Structure 1
Amino acid sequence: MKKPVLVVTSHFVKSVETRINNEYEVRRKGDGASFTREELLTAADGADAILITPFDRLDADFFRRVSPSVKVISTYSVGVDQIDMRAAAERNIAIGYTPAEVTDATADIAMLLLLGASRRAFEAQDLVRTGEWTVPRAAALLGWQVTGKTLGILGMGRIGQAVAKRARAFGMKIHYSNPHPLPAEEADDAVFHADPLELLGVSHFFSLNAPETEKTHHFLNARTIALLPQGAIVVNTARGGLVVDEDLIAALKSGHLAAAGLDVFEGEPKLNPGYVELKNVFLLPHIGTATVESRTNMGMVALDNIDAVLNDRPAPSLAKV
């Protein structure tokens, strides 16, 4: 029996790679590099499906030109903001994604960023690694406790709720803003703010967990940052496009914000060099889902989506326009 042709734009954990090689006729770049736009379109000619990552941006022009043989594209990510969903629907191409498989790993990283930023972990580790640790210098690294502080969460979906659960264990008070309030059994003691601007005003810590949309793009800018309390700390594990980098950097330099913890950046893997110059920013290279368990589950669900569509079965997670 002939195997379906699958275009793969990246490499994955061993068990996922084994399944890909066993079940599909695979097309990918032999040197491990990413496809250019034209290379991806060429590779997709006559293919049945494409497996992509968040770094592969598929716009309307891509869908106008992609081979009519392609029935499904599955992204190895919780979001689909890199895909023009309307253009995909017009071509009747199903879009799979992996929303449930990233929750715990990403929420863990949000807490790592929150604690790393609040306790000045980068500065402290730098003292140890450079051999400059002395008692007077270490004693000067005073951070801020999270216990009893208010954590404002923008976007109370799966990940936002998982962050809230972890933060409660640290004694934090939870406030959130969402398009709609959560049911009482899911909200627990969290306080809902219909207006996200009101949420900013009460947030000693502010966690971005919303998808990037027209409404949330560059949500955190000079105007909104000014609404945060003096000395607030910002954490972002959602999308870099939610933040105006220059405005956040200016607030960190001025002292209006005490610190920030960032795992995502606009234009990544490149990032604004201003972040690197600041010691009060705890930086990670988009590793929110980077656990063996999460990456394995993501890959398997992404392939399940492809298998289901190609075999006319209900798929576990298809995105909708």
Structure 2
Amino acid sequence: MSKKPLVIVTRKLPDPIETRMAELFDVQLNLSDEPFTQDQMADAVRRADVLVPTVTDRIDTRILAQANPNLRLIANFGTGVDHIDLATARQRGITVTNTPGVLTEDTADMTMALLLAVPRRLSEGERVIRSGKWEGWSPTGMLGHRIWGKRLGIIGMGRIGQAVARRAKAFGLSIHYHNRRRIEVEMEAELEATYWESLDQMLARMDILSVNCPHTPATYHLLSDRRLRLVKPHAFIINTSRGEVIDENALVRLLQQGKIGGAGLDVFEHEPAVNPKLLELDNVVLLPHMGSATIEGRIDMGEKVLINIKTYVDGHTPPDRVIMDWGQDSLYS
């Protein structure tokens, strides 16, 4: 491109990233941070050379059908791309990039925080203190469950799953995993991890389950009502991936019936809406999709977006180009 490309950013990004974008490109920022309406998104794709959306934006066939011919790059601010119609983007010659790798440690930290908080009833205890109803220590007060020695089943043993495994191993958990393909023997040995080819068999034998696979058509409701009923009644489910991977209504029913011990959820099936029945349960910890919400992580994400755009503008293939590979043999990454 001989002139600076018009880059339209859909949400407020960290100040250092926005400053650098303004230096490099002809950029339209969203200083109010109000999510784009579908009409605003349509207007953006009609004008932009590069679109920088986030995971809260829905970029479907209807939106992409209105894109101007110069829109050739969607540089997503985030790792997940389930909100973008990748097939239509590819048909229209639009490259899609994301920001992989930089959120691994932050998300794994949040997974471990929930893994500790749910069995030990930390959220319940905090509410008791704030309510002013705590009457002091008691031998049987606020009893939770020890995690040391328990079996952890990780669903999706990619970068985040492996980072969770390293942390969990240090806390004395026995590591098990199910993945689209078995990881390297050396990594298995390092993590002391046991591979389960059958997800159903693993679900039935774990004390804690951590969902770390992406949301794709192949993983939608991967934890279905049938599969959730295989889980032990004392087991806990942690989800820092995507809400759509779990049948949320089925999870609520089983939690209400005492057929699942508890859950720690950082993501929800219909965000930002949260199932009101979840709010009524004491055995769940609910967080507002903040697994990757660190200052360092957000700046690192922005740096990746900048590199992807600059590389594209300079006529090269962006380093984080998304390759659509959603066959049945590629459930988890």
Q: TM-score, with normalisation over the residues of structure 2?
A: 0.92
Q: What is the aligned counterpart of 1:250 among 243, 248, 253? A: 253
Is this contact kept in 2: 1:27–1:43, CA < 8 A?
no
**Partner in structure 1 of residue 330 of structure 2:** none
Q: Does the 8 Å CA contact 1:124/1:138 hold for their aligned counterparts?
A: no
CA distance in 2, matches of 1:171, 1:252: 26
Deviation at 1:30, TM superposition (A): 5.5
Question: Which one-letter code corresponds to 1:147 in the other structure?
Answer: W
Query: Which residue of 206, 209, 216 corresponds with 1:206?
Result: 209
Deviation at 1:3, TM superposition (A): 2.6
- 1:46 and 1:255 map into 2 onto residues whose CA distance is 53
- Unaligned segments of structure 2, at least 5 residues: 325-333
Contact 2:11 2:31 in 1 (8 A): no
Determine the structure 2 residue equivalent to 1:70.
71
Residue of structure 1 in register with 2:321 after alignment:
318
For residues 62-141 of structure 1, what are the structure 2 equivalents within 5 Å? 62-135=63-136, 139-141=140-142
Task: Give 5+ residue unaligned stretches, structure 1.
Answer: none
1:217-272 per-position Cα deviation (integer Å, ceiling 9, x unaligned): 11223211111112000000000001112211111111121111000001111111
1:182-207 CA-partner distances (Å, limit 9, x unpaired): 01112222111112111101110001
Structure 1 residue 266 corresponds to structure 2 residue 285: no
> In structure 2, what is the Cα distance between the partners aligned to 1:216 and 1:152?
17
Q: Is the 8 A contact 1:72 1:310 kept in 2?
A: no
- Pick from 205, 210, 222 the counterpart of residue 225 of structure 2: 222
Tell me which residue corresponds to 1:45: 46
Q: Once the two structures are aligned, what percentage of the paired residues are identical?
A: 37
Contact 2:236 2:261 in 1 (8 A): yes
Equivalent residues of 1:149, 1:172 under 8 A apart? yes
- Matching of residue 232 in structure 1 with residue 265 in structure 2: no
Letter in 2 for 1:73: I
How far has the Cα of 1:78 moved from its partner? 1.3
More off after superposition, 298-307 vs 31-40: 31-40
Give the CA RMSD over aligned residues: 1.5
Listed one character per residue, the Cα deviations across residues 96-142 of structure 1 (whole Å, up to 9, x for unaligned) are 10110110000000001111101111110001111111126784211
Query: 8 Å contact 2:44–2:51 — kept in the other structure?
Result: no
**Hey, what's the Cα distance between the residues in 1 that align with 2:30 and 2:176?**
46
Distance 1:139 1:299 in 2: 48
Distance in 1 separating the partners of 2:278 and 2:138: 23
Letter in 2 for 1:192: Y
Q: What's 2:328 paired with?
A: none
Distance 2:109 2:32 in 1: 33
Q: Bigger CA drift: 224-233 or 306-315?
A: 306-315
Q: Provide the C-alpha distance between the structure 1 equivalents of 2:292 and 2:139, rounded to a whole number of angstroms.
A: 32
Aligned to 1:280: 283
TM-superposed deviation, 1:38: 2.1
Residue aligning to 2:327: none
Asked if 1:304 is matched to 2:278, the reply is no
**CA displacement, residues 27-68 of structure 1 (integer Å, 9 cap, x when unaligned):** 245643221222122123332101010011111222222111
**Structure 2 residue identity aligned to 1:157:** G
Kept in 1, the 8 Å contact 2:156–2:213? The answer is yes
Residue correspondences, number: 321
Query: What residue is the counterpart of 2:194 in the other structure?
Result: 191
What does the per-residue CA deviation read over 1:11-41, in whole Å, with 9 as the maximum and x for residues that have no partner? 1112112112222222245643221222122
Contact 1:152 1:200 in 2 (8 A): yes
Counterpart of 1:59, as a letter, is: D
Q: Distance in 1 between matches of 2:8 and 2:317?
A: 22
Q: CA–CA distance in 2 between the matches of 1:31 and 1:297? A: 22
| Cα distance in 2 for residues equivalent to 1:126 and 1:212 | 32
State the SS of the aligned residue for 1:202: coil
